[in-house]
A and B are shown apart, each in its own frame.
Chain A
Amino acid sequence: MSRRGLLKFLDRMSSKSAARYLTYSVAVAFFFALILIPPILGILLKLNQVGRVFEDSSLQSRALAAVSASFEIALFVSLVDVVAGLPLAWFIARGKSRWLNALDTFVDIPFILPTVALGYSLLLFWSKQGGVSSLFGASLVSPGWLLVILLHFVFSFPIIVRVMVGALLDYHIVYEEASRTLGAHALTADRTVTLSILKPSLVSSFILAFARSISETGATLMVAGVFENGPVFISHARDENLGEGPLVFVSSILIAVSFMIFAVITVLGPRLKLPTKKVWPSFERRLSSSNIAISRDTITLVIFFLIVLLPSLFVALPAVNAISSGTLSQALSGTGIWKGYWQSLILSYFVGALATLLNTLIGLPMAVLIARKRAGTRSSTILDVLVNIPLIVPSIALGVSMKFFWSNFAFIPEIVLLIFAHISITYPYFVRAMASAIERISMDLEEASRILGARPFTLFRTIILPLTKYSLFAGALLVFTRSVDETGATKAVVSTLKTAPVLLVSWVNPGGTPTATAFEIGLGIGFLVILSFAVLLVMRLVVRGKERRY
């Protein structure tokens, strides 16, 4: 069938309610069968194993300490993110300098870098010879909880800044102006009006940062040393062959508590009263003065450059040295450890591409379903909530649970499990990006298109898709980078296959001696980073310009 014939056929089909029903049903069925049910059932089926942990009190206290460390760090880091990120977001959104565009791009760097690259970069910067530690003659920050906190701050910080810059740009500044003309000083206006109105964005960015911190595994492993949080404990427990008990124990607590925290923030967040009632005019006038504002901006920028940006980019140093030392030619010839490296890299990108493709195909109908409430208001809202679950569940716990479930079907090869896990973890990123983009398109446009004679498929092809192109690519890009970056679930699901980040963690071999030289690790990470940027660049070229609002 020709392309035209196919389009015509799809167009005719889309008018039939049966075809539409089928499309949506397949999308929903896929979501439940592959993404939602396996991780939930998997852990439930193994709950009886938990008992073993209680027999060994030292194991039990180790596990509990790890779990509570996870939540403490996530909570602490997300709070610090807000405190440090809000002024930077303000600075970017409100400033007038032409350098702000560059700053805005810099903010994204820790977000785009694979987290294992970040982890290794921070490790080099803070604690290895050649980093800032050389200045002090000793390791400034040794692997351990402090380095884990620094790491989590670095990769979750851009989330807050990104979300809040977007929210501030969308915000109608007239409310702030109204507040000023009524006698409020700048700080009072920000506090009583702007922040109150932007509270939903603040809450959702907090949740995202929190979830990301709870979930991260690969980089945390690199910098944790003997310190354990939840994901590190699970990873160690697998390496030490402690059996299923501890895995189930920690995973189920991580999942359950994450849920609870998510629910509490979702319910209480909107009711949270920011400190708006009381006003101290003379004190706030002083805090609003331009001197204070300038020192605040300076501190913010210094923190960003010294704590976030510089340590993130430090890995470039060994990577560059590796090129001059001859490691590059070894790497390109693919001998020694490089053979495995290239295989892992191919595996990572293959799995990433496949997960992106499948999630795009199956996520699109789901996004329409949610955005346009095609399944009725209540069911659509429920779906909207359910879709977010993989976001808040720590990915290694999700992987552990999926592994339990799918091991009942022994005939499924490991590579398929790996793809399932990656689809599951990345699914929400695409659906959320698309659903909110579709929601922003006015219904009037759809109605106008229908009245002019477009059938549903044509409507989608000629109106919805062109208008959401940017979000579609942004969503796909998120899925892809998240998949290539993923360590926790990968470690949990497969035992023989090694994706690039898993391999790199094993090179660094935290807790033991590295299995590769510093140059090799640096170069290995360098390739990963360069490829990530290349993918990003290609995507940017494909989708020129930003999505406009209609």
Chain B
Amino acid sequence: MPEVKVENVTKKFGEGKIVAVENVSLQIKDKEYFSLLGPSGCGKTTLLRLIAGLVQPDEGNIYIDGKLVNDVPPEDRGVGFVFQTYALFPHMDVWGNVTYGPRVKAWDTQQSNKIGREMLEMVRLYERSKAFPQELSGGMMQRVAVARALSAGAKLLLLDEPLGALDAKIRLELRYDIRKLVKDLELTAIHVTHDQSEAMAISDRIAVMRKGKILQVGTPQELYMNPREIFVANFVGESNFFEGYVESVNEMGSVLELRGKLHLRVLDKNKGLGEKVVLAIRPEAFELKKGHKKVENAIFGHIERLRFEGTNIRYEVRLENEDLVVVTRPTLAGEWLDVDEKVTVSFPPDKSFVFTYPSKGLREELMAE
């Protein structure tokens, strides 16, 4: 059944000047819901199009179901593709779109009709068979696009930002619909998105991409709990970053010294003494207490700005060393703090990540492009 293997694939555009995908290797398991996550321009859509056969790799091999498909045209790869703009044929009605696959494969009419009906009933749009794409809402078009992609019997479903053009509410609804459909039909799905919350919510595994390369592959939990790169720590979830040096190391962990003579204890003990490092802490990992409290890893500061975001309140705290950090607290948990309030910010040593300071600097490392 469809297992996808990408082996050292490189794709360049513009006479080799733009490297869209650089030496990427990836293995996607059968019946897996897999996401390619990254900022726009990171090469995730190109990678998806390479797998579909819409573009050919300059180097490397692509295998579907164990077979090398480099020279197989898209029509013979047995994939379903949902385009970002859906690409519903404007000159055909819903029925014409959904039965197009069976028709161009010259399946017999009875069978085509049966499939068309099944597919449209599956996405609850059978009664709109006669409607033309431009008469449908965005959500409906999206469902037709999915039905059409599956109508030709594809077991591998490729989705290019399939929810990007929809309203926030419908997006939330449809993301679970798609996952349920993929799981019910036992398909393999590769889903391209720049929305980390979408990727986290629906994927079995995620590959985070940046500048044509894959930075990390893992389950949503792994990426969130254990990011291996600064960029991943910031792109999957959110992080505050501090620059500092390793002051001491022992078997319990290490102590870092940050700007303003702050000494903080972390669990990481793999960095060398005196090494320049980046400390990352998620906004939700911080504790926030009124007044100046003596607790572990305490940093004093005052609230500079706050923003109410519904579920959470987002505090911007100016620390005593002049760094600004973001701290989020659940709105309904505990009291609200006001601007200028003196506070203590702290974090447990096991809820922080330490990275080697990047050679090109922190700013460059965090940039998407």
Interface positions of A from 185 to 199, Cβ below 8 Å from B: 185-186, 188-189, 192-193, 196-197
With A192-B104, A281-B105 already in contact, the answer to whether A181 and B91 are too (CB < 8 A) is no
Which 8 pairs of residues, A with B, have the shortest CB-CB distance?
A: A182-B101, A181-B81, A184-B104, A178-B87, A180-B74, A174-B87, A183-B105, A183-B152
With A174-B87, A197-B91 already in contact, the answer to whether A181 and B104 are too (CB < 8 A) is no
Could you say which residues of chain A place their CB within 8 Å of the CB of B158? 181
Contact between B106 and A281, CB atoms less than 8 A apart? yes
Could you say which residues of chain A place their CB within 8 Å of the CB of B76? 183
Q: What is the CA–CA distance of A179 and B80 in the complex, to the nearest angstrom?
A: 10
B149 within 8 A of A: yes
Shortest CB-to-CB span from B91 to chain A, Å, is 5
B278 within 8 A of A: no
Q: Mark B80-105, 1 if CB is under 8 A from A, else 0.
A: 11010101011100000000110111
Contact between A182 and B152, CB atoms less than 8 A apart? yes
Q: Can you give 9 contacting A-B residue pairs, CB < 8 Å? A: A180-B53, A180-B54, A182-B80, A182-B104, A186-B73, A188-B104, A196-B91, A197-B90, A279-B103
Could you say which residues of chain A place their CB within 8 Å of the CB of B148? 178, 182
Q: Mark A192-208, 1 if CB is under 8 A from B, else 0.
A: 11001100000000000
Could you say which residues of chain B place their CB within 8 Å of the CB of A193? 89
Q: Which residue of A lies closest to B105 (CB)?
A: A183
Contact between B75 and A184, CB atoms less than 8 A apart? yes
Shortest CB-to-CB span from B40 to chain A, Å, is 17
Q: What is the CA–CA distance of A196 and B76 in the complex, to the nearest angstrom?
A: 23
Q: What is the CA–CA distance of A165 and B17 in the complex, to the nearest angstrom?
A: 27
Contact between A177 and B106, CB atoms less than 8 A apart? no
Given contacts A183-B101, A185-B104, A281-B105, 4 further A-B contacts (CB under 8 A): A182-B151, A185-B73, A189-B104, A279-B105
Q: Of the candidates A172, A174, A179, A197, which one forms a contact with B104 in the assembled complex, judged by CB atoms under 8 Å apart?
A: A179
Give the most central of A178, A185, A192, A279: most B CB within 10 Å.
A178
Residues of B within 8 A of A (CB): 52-54, 73-77, 79-81, 83, 85, 87, 89-91, 100-101, 103-106, 148-149, 151-152, 158
A280 within 8 A of B: yes
Shortest CB-to-CB span from A317 to chain B, Å, is 39
Shortest CB-to-CB span from B162 to chain A, Å, is 13
Contact between B73 and A181, CB atoms less than 8 A apart? no
Could you say which residues of chain A place their CB within 8 Å of the CB of B90? 175, 197
Using a Cβ–Cβ cut-off of 8 Å, how many residues does chain A contribute to the interface with B? 22
Q: Which residue of B lies closest to A274 (CB)?
A: B91
Shortest CB-to-CB span from A37 to chain B, Å, is 40
Could you say which residues of chain A place their CB within 8 Å of the CB of B79? 181
With A188-B104, A279-B104 already in contact, the answer to whether A174 and B83 are too (CB < 8 A) is yes
Q: Of the candidates B54, B87, B106, B151, which one forms a contact with A175 in the assembled complex, judged by CB atoms under 8 Å apart?
A: B87
Q: What is the CA–CA distance of A114 and B3 in the complex, to the nearest angstrom?
A: 62
Could you say which residues of chain B place their CB within 8 Å of the CB of A197? 89-91
Contact between A185 and B75, CB atoms less than 8 A apart? yes
Q: What is the CA–CA distance of A183 and B106 in the complex, to the nearest angstrom?
A: 10
Contact between B73 and A178, CB atoms less than 8 A apart? no
Shortest CB-to-CB span from B196 to chain A, Å, is 26
Contact between B81 and A178, CB atoms less than 8 A apart? yes
Interface positions of A from 493 to 527, Cβ below 8 Å from B: none
Contact between A281 and B104, CB atoms less than 8 A apart? yes
Contact between B87 and A177, CB atoms less than 8 A apart? yes
Contact between A180 and B100, CB atoms less than 8 A apart? no
Q: What is the CA–CA distance of A183 and B80 in the complex, to the nearest angstrom?
A: 9
Shortest CB-to-CB span from B291 to chain A, Å, is 52
Shortest CB-to-CB span from B181 to chain A, Å, is 18
Q: Of the candidates A178, A180, A185, which one forms a contact with B89 in the assembled complex, judged by CB atoms under 8 Å apart?
A: A178
Contact between B52 and A181, CB atoms less than 8 A apart? yes
Q: What is the CA–CA distance of A188 and B105 in the complex, to the nearest angstrom?
A: 10
Could you say which residues of chain B place their CB within 8 Å of the CB of A281? 104-106
Could you say which residues of chain B place their CB within 8 Å of the CB of A177? 54, 74, 81, 83, 87
Could you say which residues of chain A place their CB within 8 Å of the CB of B104? 179, 182-185, 188-189, 192, 279, 281
Shortest CB-to-CB span from A249 to chain B, Å, is 43
Shortest CB-to-CB span from A10 to chain B, Å, is 41
Q: What is the CA–CA distance of A177 and B105 in the complex, to the nearest angstrom?
A: 16
Interface positions of A from 164 to 178, Cβ below 8 Å from B: 172, 174-175, 177-178
Could you say which residues of chain B place their CB within 8 Å of the CB of A175? 87, 89-90
Q: Mark A261-305, 1 if CB is under 8 A from B, else 0.
A: 000000000000000000111000000000000000000000000
Could you say which residues of chain A place their CB within 8 Å of the CB of B80? 181-182
With A177-B74, A193-B89, A279-B106 already in contact, the answer to whether A182 and B100 are too (CB < 8 A) is yes
Q: What is the CA–CA distance of A196 and B92 in the complex, to the nearest angstrom?
A: 10
Q: What is the CA–CA distance of A409 and B81 in the complex, to the nearest angstrom?
A: 70
Q: Which residue of A lies closest to B151 (CB)?
A: A182
Interface positions of A from 399 to 433, Cβ below 8 Å from B: none
Could you say which residues of chain A place their CB within 8 Å of the CB of B83? 174, 177-178
Q: Which residue of B lies closest to A175 (CB)?
A: B87
